[in-house]
């Protein structure tokens, strides 16, 4: 198995402490990096939704815009806020 080969190669190396230190740094930083990525993707998705929403407002009839805004506001109120 490839994992076993990697461990054998690392353990036979004179710089195995450096390998383990680098792996530990990557493992330690992964959750925070993923959280930052999730936030960035969320912000991008919100921006795209806003652009789509503004485009739709120009296309649909004014009474439908009012109805759409009312429904969206109801949905926003029902979504629990994360803290």
Is 62 inside any structural domain?
yes
Q: Sorting pLDDT into bands at 50, 70 and 90, what band is 76?
A: low
79: left (phi over 0), alpha (psi -120 to 50) or beta: beta
* 7-61 confidence digits (pLDDT tens): 898 889 899 898 889 889 889 988 988 898 888 888 888 887 777 777 777 777 7
Residue 39, in any domain of the structure? yes
Q: Note the helical H segments in the chain.
A: 2-12, 16-59, 62-78
Q: In angstroms, rounded to a whole number, what is the distance separating the alpha carbons of residues 44 and 58?
A: 22
Q: How many domains is the chain built from?
A: 1
Q: Predicted confidence band at 77 (pLDDT cuts at 50, 70, 90)?
A: low
Evaluate whether residue 73 is within a structural domain: yes
Q: Supply the Cα-derived Rg of the chain in whole angstroms.
A: 24
Looking at residue 71, its pLDDT comes to 76
Residue 83: per-residue pLDDT: 55
Mean pLDDT along residues 66-78: 72
Structural domain harbouring 60: 24-83
């Amino acid at each position: 198995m490839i994992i076993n080969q990697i461990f054998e190669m690392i353990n036979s190396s004179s710089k195995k402490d450096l390998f383990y230190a680098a792996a530990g740094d990557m493992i330690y930083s992964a959750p925070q990096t993923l959280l930052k990525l999730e936030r960035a993707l969320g912000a991008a998705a919100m921006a795209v939704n806003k652009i789509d929403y503004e485009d739709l407002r120009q296309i649909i009839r004014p009474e439908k815009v009012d109805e759409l805004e009312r429904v969206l506001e109801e949905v926003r109120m029902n979504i629990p806020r994360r803290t």
